[in-house]
Amino acid sequence: MELLGGTYKSADGPFSGTNPFVDLHLDFPVRYGKYEMGHTPFFAALDLINAESMEEKTALYQFHSMRLDALNQLYTRADTVRNLIRLYSEKHFELFLRDTGRFLGQTFSSLEPQDINACLYLLVSTVFEPLILRDSVSKIIDGYSGLVYTLAQQHPKSFGAFLDFLLDTNFLKNLQLDCLELYPNVLEAELPLRPALFLDLVKDYRKGVVAARISTDDFPHYKDLYKDLSEVLSRQLVIVAGINNLLIRGDFNAFADPATKGLKKPRSLNAYADRPFGEKPFHLDDCWFNVDKDVVDNHLRNAIAHFKTEYNDVTQVVTYYPSKEGVGQDHAETIYFLDFMRKILESFREVHYLHHLIKVLFFYTYLIHRT
């Protein structure tokens, strides 16, 4: 019997290893190679969890299983989430509050801007909780509130000027809308993100260390998601830089001379916004926000943006050419698809964390700055 170009054959006994062995599972990184009877993807995944006891491993796996169950409930409603975000973005606030209330099982009625935004951020926090680290988000939001209070107390005029700059240029609002556009696309990528999500449980994970792959692969589709996440994160760093300048020098436009040779100090925050993504972290001296250096991969982003990538769907290796080399393209870099999806997950988390900073700035504006 033929099936998709293959042929069914009756089994004469256990898998002998004569043919290539591929162990498939949607929720875990999977292995290609030598067959070991009984060593299922589940047990292979447990082996990867770096814990001192089986009880700890079991607890970590149960935590991961809860996240997967939540994704199972949510991924089928990606279109609903997209429609809710569209209602907010197009300022259909009454419909947004009504439909979001139905989706979350709550009642929202106040059309005050701070209450509409509270509803919005409750929505994205609830839907995307399986993909983020809840404890990290709670600590970060508390830190943002304290940070804004400190700026308002120590640099009231400069901080007010900074907010006016973000508001009058529509930078803050446009950036919020750009963040929101990403959420439905991330939710639709939940299938290949599942094995990347599992790597949260692998202590000291580094790319290329886990010799495993993803059972579903579609790099050409998800490379645009990575590019869009990087673009939004690059713009979010403008807010990070402005706050950093305020904290250290009392002026959101005042940058320090960069310690890295070959870089020139931005003349203003507006000039900083035009700097390449990979350069921006080097202008954040003693920064209050710890930018994940592995997320700021300008080589990969530029290669994807300029269509200088190749993908082998058998080995799941992405080859990319980050340098301007004319016709030759001799200097290639590589990354496994699993590690690429991990970059997407980590990039989304950074964007989500900084999206909550936008929330805090809007709340301060609504309640204090422009009352």
Q: What is the pLDDT of residues 53-78, one digit of tens each?
A: 888 888 888 888 888 888 888 878 88
- Flag whether 317 is in a domain: yes
Asked whether the CA dihedral 208, 209, 211, 214 is positive or negative, the reply is negative
Question: For residue 37, what are the CA distances in angstroms to 8, 19, 23, 24?
Answer: 21, 15, 11, 14
- Flag whether 17 is in a domain: no
- Flag whether 201 is in a domain: yes
Cβ atoms of residues 179 and 232 within 8 Å: yes
| Sequence letter at residue 22 | V
Q: Which residue has the higher pLDDT, 10 or 187?
A: 187
pLDDT tens string 1-29: 444 445 655 555 555 555 554 554 455 56
- Flag whether 78 is in a domain: no
- Residue 206's pLDDT band (cuts 50, 70, 90): low
pLDDT tens string 305-356: 776 888 877 777 888 888 655 554 567 888 888 888 899 999 999 999 999 9
Mean pLDDT of the region 214-243: 87
Alpha carbon distance 186, 344 (integer Å): 9
Number of domains in the chain: 1
Residue 243: name the closest of 179, 177, 172, 181 by CA.
Answer: 172
- Flag whether 303 is in a domain: yes
Q: Which residue has the higher pLDDT, 150 or 42?
A: 150
Edge-to-edge strands, sheet with 309-312 = 309-312, 317-320, 333-336
Per the structure block, which two tokens stand in for 124? 């994205």
Q: Domain limits at 166?
A: 143-369
- Flag whether 68 is in a domain: no
- Flag whether 111 is in a domain: no
- Flag whether 163 is in a domain: yes
Residue count of the chain, please give it: 371
Would the pLDDT of 160 be above 60? Answer: yes
